[in-house]
């Protein structure tokens, strides 16, 4: 899935981002789902999210440095029109996912759910929108390579 040798620079960095999300946020959401009965305080959830986000940043930073050293020539290339179009299309869909989550979390949930669930749902939709964007970018590059 993450073969870096025969992929473009944008595909490499997007794969790194998606991999870091999976490594950090899957355990985070599994932990929260296992603690569902205990009603964790919002502050404790925010601290957990902070630790998860910092872990992701460390993975991204180290991975990006590794990619930049290993593929220095590719890293210097500017995005072409195809790269920009792929990014725009994926971002547009991800924005739709984010707005759907925002409407659900901000307009519907405050009337029926506790603050803990609202916070968890907000973080979930943020992560889901980024994952959607990354998956769509990778899919577009893979389809372009197969054509």
- CA separation for the pair 56, 23 (Å, rounded): 8
**82: domain range?**
9-146
Tokens 């739709």: give the residue. 96
Q: Give the tens place of pLDDT for each residue, 70-123.
A: 999 998 989 899 999 999 999 999 999 999 999 999 998 888 888 888 888 999
Q: Give the tens place of pLDDT for each residue, 3-17.
A: 666 788 999 999 999
Residue 55 resides in a domain: yes
Domain count, the chain: 1
Residue 3 resides in a domain: no
pLDDT at 84: 93
Residue 1 resides in a domain: no
The C-alpha angle 113, 25, 55, rounded to 5 degrees, equals 125
Predicted TM-score (pTM) of the model is 0.86
Q: Is the per-residue pLDDT at 145 higher than 70?
A: no
């Amino acid at each position: 899935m993450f073969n870096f040798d025969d992929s473009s620079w944008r595909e490499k960095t997007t794969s790194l981002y998606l991999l870091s999300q999976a490594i950090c946020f899957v355990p985070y959401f599994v932990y929260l789902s296992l603690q569902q009965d205990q009603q964790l305080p919002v502050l404790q959830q925010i601290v957990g999210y902070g630790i998860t986000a910092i872990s992701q940043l460390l993975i991204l930073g180290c991975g990006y440095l590794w990619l930049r050293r290993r593929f220095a020539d590719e890293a210097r290339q500017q995005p072409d029109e195809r790269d920009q179009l792929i990014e725009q299309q994926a971002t547009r869909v991800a924005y739709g996912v984010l707005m759907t989550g925002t409407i659900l979390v901000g307009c519907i949930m405050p009337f029926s759910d506790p603050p803990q669930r609202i916070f968890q749902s907000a973080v979930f939709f943020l992560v889901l929108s980024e994952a959607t964007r990354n998956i769509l970018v990778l899919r577009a590059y893979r389809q372009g390579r197969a054509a």
